[in-house]
Amino acid sequence: MFYNFTPQAGKAMSGYLNYLEEKYETQNIKAINERLVELSSLFEISQILNASLELNTVLNNILLIPMGRMMISKGAVILRHGKSYELRLWKGLSPDSPDLEFNSSDLPVEIFVPSDDSPGEPAFEKFSTFMKSHNLAIAVPLNSQDQLVGMVLYGNKLAAKPFNSDETDFLSSLANLSATSVENALKVDEIRGINLQLDERIQQLKTLFDIAQGLSATLDSEKIIKLLTYALMGQMLVYHYAIVIYGNQNLRKVDCKGFLKDAIEDLAEHPARFADITDTGRVGDLNSPKIQAQLKKLGAQVFIPLRHQNRSLGFILMGEKINKQDYTGADLEFLTTLVSQAVISLENARLFKETLEKQRIEQELQVAKTIQKKLLPHEIAQIEGYDAWGLNISSKEVGGDYFDIIPISNGRFVITIGDVSGKSVPAALLMANLQAGLRIIIDSDMPLDKVAGRLNDLIYQNTDMDKYITFFVGILDIRTHEFSYVNAGHNPPLIINGAGEIKLLDIGGIILGMMPDYPYQMGKVKFQPNDLLVCYTDGVSEAMNPQEEELGEERLYDFIRDKRAFKAKDLSEQLVAYLTEYAAGAPQADDITLVVARRM
């Protein structure tokens, strides 16, 4: 029968044969036969050890064969794991700390027997203490290529006799034969672990690819969150999770399972406390003890920030896995990549939604602009004996300014101007209501102050408190040149005579829509030849230059005084050019509306 041995095993056998030759001369044939039987046993054990690359099988053989042969009650194996040594297998004892670890400096490199009478601190104190606490009598090192692979520890024999030299030699020889098998089994075990990790990584990459396809196929944020939820639960095997997404101004979305929703919402109300957390990590590794305590109290184990371009969008909490396993580094990397994909999809969905909303608003504005243009006069009504003009320039697509010159019965003309609070579509709609109400009421025998009161009640009943109108309305009788008017909180129009003297038309009352049943007053003036009426909205007097300085009434009055001899249309256009020059490209916040009339 022939046996194949590793170099270490062959060296051990050769030494053992030399030993037998030396003993031959001094011992009898019986002793030699016993050693031959022992050597045969070692050969058989070597075959058994070399027949398997399963680490647990090799370790069980190393431990159980001597325990059965020598009637040993208990044993344990300590093996190298990374840079430390840990308890890997034990029989007949219940270690208090199965995860106990030793450094290489804690372990002897030769056969070790703990001693009770060593003075001072014993050598290998930690290791010796462990052996004593579990009644382990002898430790045999497993050395492979001058490297310590591990230690085999045996308890006392049931016969309560100490190990003799032959037994110690046997255990040492067995350890020498076993070390290479253990080393090979460790490498195979390591390779299997690496293969398992590779399989997991491949599966994770496949999952990420599938999820990325699903995320990119939709621009619905609700569907994106559902896909993310299924991926988190399925891949990480969790039942407890929470997804918090912030809106522009406040909390936008909370989706959780297994956690108390009220507690999650309470956390989400203070996003600033999580703003500095930029990386996915275990809750126990977070820098803030306070945040650690809060999240641990909820049962969260992993915190994942949702970030996009250094902006915090929310966070995800992960609870304990169903299989109770810890989150590995590979798990955290997978979660980081997955969440990054989801964040990009959520941002794309948000931008797409904003684009659609912007397009919708632009369409509505275009419709409103068309309606508003139809509401404003296309042509300025010509007043006999007067030169009149009006214009409106909106600062936005749709504004809230209104003007009109309306001929009514018996040689009378209505001159009106108004400014609705706010901008855009709501202001334009309110302006349309004002115009419709005015045209219905004005052509009657109702006094002008009563007309203003009716319009005020109409606006008050149909709008909220934050909607109101500054309004000026006057009726010019071209037979007498009398001009009766009501100013409802509007910028006072001015009448300037040929000498440059200015009179403000400020009699009336409060703005329309503030309170019901308000009693307005009516003022009266009489136009003299060359008297000039200028009505304007606050977009004129409040025009801003790049230094954010308003034009103001004084500059406006000076300009009108200088240009009072101009025709109404020319004066209006000159004033618009003056405002443009004053603004010098600065954006304007309000509309510009003018009504100008001069008695010829």
Q: Is 306 helix (H, G, I), strand (E, B) or coil?
A: strand
Confidence of residue 119 (pLDDT cuts 50, 70, 90): very low
Report whether pLDDT(37) > 60.
no
Question: Does residue 85 or residue 123 have the better pLDDT?
Answer: 85
**What 3-state DSSP class applies to 192?**
helix
| E strands present in 64-183 | 75-81, 84-91, 101-102, 136-144, 147-155
Please identify, in words, the CATH class of the domain defined by 376-599. alpha beta
Average of per-residue pLDDT across 185-214: 73
Residue 285 DSSP one-character state: G
Q: What per-residue confidence (pLDDT) applies to 399?
A: 64
pLDDT tens sequence across 486-517? 999 999 999 999 889 999 999 999 999 889 99
Global pTM reads 0.50
- Kindly state the helix (H) or strand (E) to which residue 520 belongs, with its residue range: none
Instruction: Tell me the C-alpha distance between 486 and 489, whole Å.
Output: 9
CA–CA dist 420, 418 (Å, integer)? 7
- Predicted confidence at residue 493, as pLDDT, reads 96
* Residue percentage of the chain with pLDDT more than 90: 24
pLDDT of residue 281: 86
List the chain domain ranges.
7-189, 218-352, 376-599
Task: Tell me if 590 sits within 8 A of 395, measured CB to CB.
Answer: yes
Residue 433 tokens, joined:
């209501």
The percent of residues above 70 in pLDDT, for the chain, comes to: 85
Beta carbons of 39 and 126 less than 8 angstroms apart: no
Q: How confident is the model at residue 120 (pLDDT cuts 50, 70, 90)?
A: very low
Give 373-405 as a DSSP string: HHHS-SSPPP-TTEEEEEEEE-SSSS--EEEEE
The pLDDT assigned to 116 comes to 64
Burial 134-145 (b: 16+ CB within 10 A, else e): bebbbbbbbbbe
Q: Flag whether pLDDT at 38 surpasses 60.
A: no
β-strand pairing of 508-509 with 502-504: unpaired
Per-residue burial over 112-121, b if 16 or more Cβ lie within 10 Å, else e, is bebeeeeeee
Q: What is the 3-state secondary structure (H, E, C) of 266-277?
A: HHHCCHHHHCCC
What are the pLDDT digits (tens) for 445-477?
789 999 999 999 988 888 777 778 899 999 999
Higher pLDDT, 431 or 384: 384
Considering the domain 218-352, what is its CATH architecture? 2-Layer Sandwich (3.30)
| 138: phi then psi, degrees, rounded to nearest 5 | -150, 145
- Topology agreement, domain 218-352 and domain 376-599: no
pLDDT at 424: 64
Report for 41-50, 148-157, 423-432, 486-495: range of highest mean pLDDT: 486-495
pLDDT given for residue 11 in this prediction = 59
Q: What is the pLDDT of residue 569?
A: 94
pLDDT, the chain, mean: 82
Answer yes or no: is pLDDT of 27 > 60: no
Statement: residue 414 has pLDDT above 80: yes
- Lowest mean pLDDT of 37-51, 353-367, 521-535, 542-556, name the range: 37-51
Highest mean pLDDT among 33-37, 329-333, 586-590: 329-333
Residue 512 near residue 554, CB atoms below 8 Å = no
The pLDDT tens digits of the residues spanning 354-411 come to 888 888 877 777 777 776 677 778 788 889 999 999 998 876 656 678 899 999 988 8
Count CA atoms within 13 Å of residue 401 on its CB side: 26
pLDDT at 34: 52
CATH topology for the 7-189 domain: Beta-Lactamase (3.30.450)
pLDDT band at 28 (very low <50, low <70, confident <90, very high): low
Residue with tokens 């001693």: 115
User: Going by C-beta distance under 8 Å and a sequence separation of 6 or more, which residues neighbour residue 336?
Assistant: 279, 280, 304
Place of tokens 């030299």: 165
Q: Is the pLDDT of residue 26 over 60?
A: no
Is 537:487 a contact under the CB 8 Å cutoff? no
Residue 259: per-residue pLDDT: 87
